[in-house]
Amino acid sequence: MNRIYDSRKGILFILLAAFGFSLMTFFVNLSGDLPTMQKAFFRNAIALVFSSFLLFRSKDNLYFEKKHIPDILMRCFFGTSALIANFYAIDRIGLSDSNMLNKLSPFFAIIISIPVLKERPKKVDIFAALIAFLGSILIIKPGFSLTTGPALIGLYSGFGAGTAYVFVRRMTGNGVRPPLIVFCFSLFSSIVTLPFLVLSYTPMTGKQLLCLLLAGLFATFGQFGITTAYKYAPAKEISVFDYTQVLFAVALGVLFLGQRPDIYSIFGYILIIGIAVFRWHVTNKKEVQ
């Protein structure tokens, strides 16, 4: 009974996290024509403030072994570049498409886990990754369209995020604490984007500043939601509910931004979310047996 209750709490928190991240992308888009790096800096700086407060409040030691430095740097590099790519795509191809391409991260994680974690994917994982790739083609619509380039950058955001998650998994498996990983990522991202902010700072209206502050706030809200969700339930039980972020993004785009995905993108969403649900069902069915 307690396990069922914890699973339900995990689902609730991951739904809240998905809503938080969708609001983050919504406010990034709503902030208007500002440099991508300026948007990324505010998102990361706010997360840095919150993660610093929690880390020092918990009185955890900031020390980590030298052998973990390469993994931390790889997590920071791929996570930061994925975030910047995602923000770039949000402004050019819309909320729903950019969110969906970013949500390809679990399938890229399957591929990257092979050389990094020495894991051998199951047949269902390989099948799921191939179907997800086909779905991404429907969203990207490769050709000579002006949106193809930003869509490919959005695809990279999914690759970068998936790669970052693999290194997070290896570090946590080796005893590195999650709050320390979040702090290092936020600090690294803020340092990387700060020079661009200084060199190409664009004056903001009060509305734009408010939007960026809200984007950082909801990103932090989403991060806390994800952390709490996986505290109550394992990824195999609840990760599929993270795809509701795309549904929230579609709703926000249609209701407030006048963005409507075309029929090809919709079919792409169905393929990617459908195969994610299928993989989740097969994995949990095998666990029960």
Per-residue pLDDT 10s for the chain (289 aa) are 566 667 788 889 889 989 999 999 999 999 999 999 999 999 999 989 988 887 777 666 666 778 889 999 999 999 999 999 999 999 898 888 999 999 898 889 888 988 988 888 888 888 888 999 889 988 887 765 667 889 999 999 999 998 998 888 888 778 787 778 888 888 999 999 999 999 999 999 999 999 999 999 999 888 888 877 877 776 666 777 888 888 899 999 999 998 888 899 999 999 999 998 898 888 777 655 5
Place of tokens 């005893």: 175
Distance CA(131)–CA(6), nearest Å, equals 32
- Are 246 and 99 in contact, with CB atoms under 8 Å apart? yes
For residue 143, the model assigns a pLDDT of 63
- Are 163 and 109 in contact, with CB atoms under 8 Å apart? yes
CB within 8 Å of 98: residues ≥ 6 apart: 25, 86, 89, 90, 154, 157, 249
End-to-end alpha-carbon separation of the chain, Å?
Answer: 19
Domain boundaries, the chain: 2-288
CB within 8 Å of 182: residues ≥ 6 apart: 47, 51, 55, 223
Distance CA(90)–CA(86), nearest Å, equals 6
Within the chain, residue ranges assigned H as helices are 2-30, 36-57, 69-93, 95-102, 105-117, 123-140, 148-173, 178-199, 206-232, 235-238, 244-252, 263-288
Distance CA(197)–CA(61), nearest Å, equals 31
Distance CA(108)–CA(41), nearest Å, equals 26
CA dist list (Å): 284 to 24, 125, 218, 278, 289: 31, 13, 31, 10, 9
